Structure 1
Amino acid sequence: MSRFSIPMKIADNSRFNGESMALFSREPALQAKAFHQQLPGYQPTPLHSLSGFANQLGVANVWVKDESQRFGLNAFKMLGGAYAIARLYCEKYHLDIQHFSFEKCRNAKQEKMTFATTTDGNHGRGVAWAAKELGQHAVIYMPKGSSQERVDHITRLGAECIVTDMNYDDTVRLTMRTAAEHGWEVVQDTAWEGYTQIPTWIMQGYATLAVEAVEQMPQPPTHVFLQAGVGAMAAGVLGYLVDVYGAQALHSVTVEPERADCIYRSGCSGTLTAVAGEMNTIMAGLACGEPNPLGWPLLRNCSHQFISCDDRVAALGMRVLGNPLRGDAAIISGESGAVTMGVLAAVMFHPEKNSLMQRLGLNDQSRVLLISTEGDTDVQHYREVVWEGKHSISGCNNQEHQND
């Protein structure tokens, strides 16, 4: 087998204490899943067991939850946006979320609402979908560098989409100001002072995929690797998993691009730490510089390690998932979706594989859960990576692995 090293930084969490949070636990997760189950077209997304890869890596099992199959939207994000919009609508019109119906509300003669959000693509698509299903308006802002394909996904759902000349976090601030001027409802998956209820609902909505995964896995996982942008999905999913299995029994790792590694830096410093600048990474869904303060306490308490990695790690994950070993399922996973598999593959090919396995607590008894959060949401770039070799491992062999 070839040996090469792709730059990754691994930081052990010295502040781990295993304390969970009631906001992101079993009860709200099960309530969110009950909501999603009543939506037309709902079905749990597949959980694939990649036994061939697991055997090559030297672990007992690697499970991959394939969120490209979620409601035909090619990503998990609608779980949060749709749930938050439904909760918001029910609160405004004094309805019971347990009896909510998009169809009934769409036909109700109520004043039209406009939902606004900032997105790198997938979250905006989910908000646009929910607004359309509800018969309402959506205005979606995207940071500079957003691909035309991701814009088209949103506008085809009837939403207005505006690409700014700012990075993600500055675009969030623009969205807030514009929404306040026009009286729009902001549906954002990060929080700030005075804005916590909607991002809480979004994060609770994400937990539906964790509830499904627990129901699908034949045995409890020993490890979970979760990609993080602002940390909303990572915290929403991890909160449910640690409530079910216990934080001590589940070795949890967050993974980010090195150019937008705000959770990694927060983990190293012990306090919320932002990343500024361009954040030019192929992992568009993770190109966020400011951690979600709602999710950070749980990630600080319950993550065992934080990883910051090169874009080539995500590209490797895309190739491995799309071109599996004999007997394993092929999974079409986008840049943000594949980065956790990329970490495992980078470990497998690394000249210091054994020491990295030990560092991450991986052995022949380990059962690892990964979430492929998106499919090929940018088809052209997916082909450039998987077919044409963009962001290849060429030149990586002499790179040194870094431990923090």
Structure 2
Amino acid sequence: MAKFNIAIEANRHFNGELVADFGYAKGATAQRFHQSLPGYQATPLQPLNDLAKVIGVKQVLVKDESYRFDLNAFKMLGGVYAIARLLCEEYQLDIEQFDFAQFNQKIDKKLTFATATDGNHGRGVAWAAKQLGQNAVVYMPKGAAAERVNNIRNLGAECIVTDMNYDDTVRFVVERAQQQGWKVVQDTAWEGYTDIPTWIMQGYSTLAMESLDQIEQQGLSQPTHIILQAGVGAMAGGVLGCFADKLGANNFKAIIAEPELADCIYRSGKQGDMVNVGGDMATIMVGLACGEPNPLGWTVLKNCASYFVSCEDKVSALGMRVLGNPIGDDPRVVSGESGAIGAGLLAAVHFSDDKQQLMQALDLNQDSVVLVISTEGDTDVANYRDVVWLGKYA
């Protein structure tokens, strides 16, 4: 057994109220759009039955986003949908009828899309811009992995690493875009900037739509628990809104998990209002190293999440090793640092000296069906091997 730093806060502000922009109908529109993309396939939903037996729950389901096109992460779902919506506004097109091939044949003017990213979002924006014959400029915070930088540049985008943290890099991008006439594609919102982050969140809801379809197709039980990782809370809000609308917010427990060095959603859950976190936020979960909540996502999380969790880096590292080295007949899932926090939380609860208290705190038992989203594969191969092969963050 072991000790893990895991802080759990029950959501005292839960009311189950839905947010119209992030419900099932909006998710269905985004899913139809994604299904029209050349090469689209739903990513696998993997039952880990042997892991479930070890942990002491009925079932563990993993949505594996390492298969999302050839990008190894889910983020392009939001970026490509938002860019398509922007282009529809620019050229008076209907998103329901949007066709990539026809657009590229008819439109020869190029717009430039700018964003700040820890890696996956920027890669998704660069990919979307390339697919649509547009330009992309991507800024990354200090400490960005060379592999993530190169992945963006290989898609034809300009990529610049700053000497700032993520949230300050976002502000810098906004300033540069205003000077250069670029379109900002960012998954957080602020006063006067809500349409694009709304579209990005709606794009993320395809994760939920696919999962709901796959649960039905595979004859699986509906989840009693859904673990969603949060950076700014955009993915968590978009996905949770769709699930809450379809299943009923009172019919499952949503657990929002974050690294303790960037736990703005957890602190907001304790406070009941948005709380920002500053500093370097030097977590291995770089995709979650965000200190300022997206107010659009926060509204959904405040209304419909059951628990907020803050945990140390070795929880995610444990998840990477557990998913990559499956027990029994379970399939292998290659999950990166930000992707593995959900599975890591389940494993850390099981191996913790305080297992019974933690199980009770999250309302987990032998009847629980837990859905986790592995949001990325090994997007930084060197670090993945340091963790899984060499035991970093043991």
1:70-149 → structure 2 map (5 Å cutoff): 70-149=68-147
1:208-219 → structure 2 map (5 Å cutoff): 208-217=206-215, 218-219=220-221
Q: Residue 109 of structure 1: CA displacement?
A: 3.7
Distance in 1 between residues matched to 2:101 and 2:122, nearest whole Å: 21
Counterpart amino acid of 1:272? M
Counterpart amino acid of 1:118? A
**Equivalent residue in structure 1 for 2:176, among 161, 169, 178:** 178
Which is worse superposed, 217-226 or 231-240?
A: 217-226
Report what 1:56 is aligned to: 54
Find the residue that maps to 2:393 and give its secondary structure.
Answer: coil
**Equivalent residue in structure 2 for 1:377, among 366, 369, 379:** 379
Unaligned stretches of 5+ residues in structure 2: none
**Equivalent residue in structure 2 for 1:306, among 280, 287, 308:** 308
Distance in 1 between residues matched to 2:358 and 2:315, nearest whole Å: 15
Find the residue that maps to 1:107 and give its secondary structure.
Answer: helix
- Deviation string, structure 1 residues 17-54 (Cα, Å, up to 9, x no partner): 11111110011000000000011111110000000010
Q: Is 1:103–1:133's contact at 8 Å kept on the other side of the alignment?
A: no
Distance in 1 between residues matched to 2:248 and 2:98, nearest whole Å: 33
Report what 2:340 is aligned to: 338
Counterpart amino acid of 2:367? Q
Which is worse superposed, 100-109 or 285-294?
A: 100-109
Counterpart amino acid of 2:289? A
Distance in 2 between residues matched to 1:318 and 1:145, nearest whole Å: 21
Alignment of 1:39 with 2:41, yes or no, is no
Distance in 2 between residues matched to 1:328 and 1:288, nearest whole Å: 33
Q: Residue 108 of structure 1: CA displacement?
A: 2.3
Find the residue that maps to 1:266 and give its secondary structure.
Answer: helix
Find the residue that maps to 1:294 and give its secondary structure.
Answer: helix
Find the residue that maps to 1:252 and give its secondary structure.
Answer: strand
Counterpart amino acid of 1:161? C
- Deviation string, structure 1 residues 267-326 (Cα, Å, up to 9, x no partner): 011111000000000001000000000111110111111000100000000000000101
Moved over 4 A (4+): none
- Deviation string, structure 1 residues 321-359 (Cα, Å, up to 9, x no partner): 000101101000000000111100000001221121111
Q: Is 1:276–1:289's contact at 8 Å kept on the other side of the alignment?
A: yes
Which is worse superposed, 148-157 or 13-22?
A: 13-22
TM-score (norm 2): 0.98
Counterpart amino acid of 2:49? S
Report what 2:391 is aligned to: 389
RMSD over aligned Cα atoms: 0.7
Distance in 2 between residues matched to 1:147 and 1:355, nearest whole Å: 38
Find the residue that maps to 1:371 and give its secondary structure.
Answer: strand
Q: Residue 107 of structure 1: CA displacement?
A: 2.5
Unaligned stretches of 5+ residues in structure 1: 393-404
Distance in 2 between residues matched to 1:202 and 1:27, nearest whole Å: 15
Find the residue that maps to 2:370 and give its secondary structure.
Answer: strand
